[in-house]
């Protein structure tokens, strides 16, 4: 199968989009493919799916400002960017101040973008590409939390800020 697949792949890459491929069995009993039907051997035309194509876009002139789709950091790179798993109607119970929050991003996070939490307006923890982020030893009381999508040091987008209360056991 590996040899047959390689032959098909080479033929697909080497032939123009309108070419026909034929499948037949050679004299040694091997399945073979060709762009021309062999003489004296029964062959089947292979139905190929349409090829993917993209339209070439002309470059913008130097006088034209870049549109958001062409800028390095589009204004709204993600249709949805929000924190999940944070109770806002009641206190978050975390006896040791450790809990995780989720991030819902749509479309999914694109490379090289990373998530970064903002706890009380300040960056918290290490940026990550994982949509589950852990907070450790957070003091009891009211806090604000948001998530940013960053590309290196550049801010791509930021979620709405969520205010919540941490309830934990106070130990002197």
User: pLDDT tens digit string along 56-107?
Assistant: 655 655 555 544 444 444 567 899 999 998 887 888 888 888 889 999 999 9
Portion of the chain with pLDDT greater than 70, in percent? 70
Q: Boundaries of CATH 2.60.40.10 in the chain?
A: 80-167
* Neighbour-count burial of 152, counting CB atoms closer than 10 A to its CB (0-12 exposed, 13-18 middle, 19+ buried): exposed
pTM over 0.95: no
Two tokens, residue 120: 């009380």
30-38: average pLDDT? 83
In terms of pLDDT, which residue wins out, 118 or 21? 118
Two tokens, residue 18: 């309108």
In terms of pLDDT, which residue wins out, 115 or 13? 115
104 strand-pairing partners: 82
152-159: average pLDDT? 93
Q: What is the pLDDT of residue 68?
A: 42
Task: Supply φ then ψ for residue 9, to 5 degrees.
Answer: -60, -45
**What residues contact residue 3 under an 8 Å CB cut-off, 6+ apart?**
30
Q: Which CATH class is domain 80-167?
A: mainly beta
Q: What is the pLDDT of residue 67?
A: 44
Peptide bond into 152 cis (omega under 30): no
pLDDT tens profile 99-131: 899 999 999 999 899 999 999 999 999 999 999
């Amino acid at each position: 199968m590996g040899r047959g697949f390689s032959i098909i792949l080479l033929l697909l890459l080497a032939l123009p989009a309108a070419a026909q491929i034929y499948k037949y069995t050679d004299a040694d009993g091997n399945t073979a493919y060709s762009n021309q039907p062999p003489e004296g051997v029964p062959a089947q035309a292979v139905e190929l799916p349409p090829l993917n194509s993209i339209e070439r876009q002309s470059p913008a002139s130097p006088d034209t400002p870049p549109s958001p789709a062409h800028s390095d950091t589009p204004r709204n790179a993600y249709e949805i960017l929000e924190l999940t798993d944070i109770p806002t109607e009641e206190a978050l119970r975390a006896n040791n101040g450790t809990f995780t929050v989720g991030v819902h991003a749509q479309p999914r996070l694109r490379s090289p973008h990373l998530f970064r939490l903002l706890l009380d307006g300040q960056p918290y923890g290490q940026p990550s590409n994982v949509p589950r982020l852990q907070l450790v030893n957070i003091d009891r009381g009211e806090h604000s939390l948001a998530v940013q999508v960053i590309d290196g040091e550049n801010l791509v987008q930021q979620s709405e800020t969520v205010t919540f209360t941490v309830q934990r056991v106070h130990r002197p």
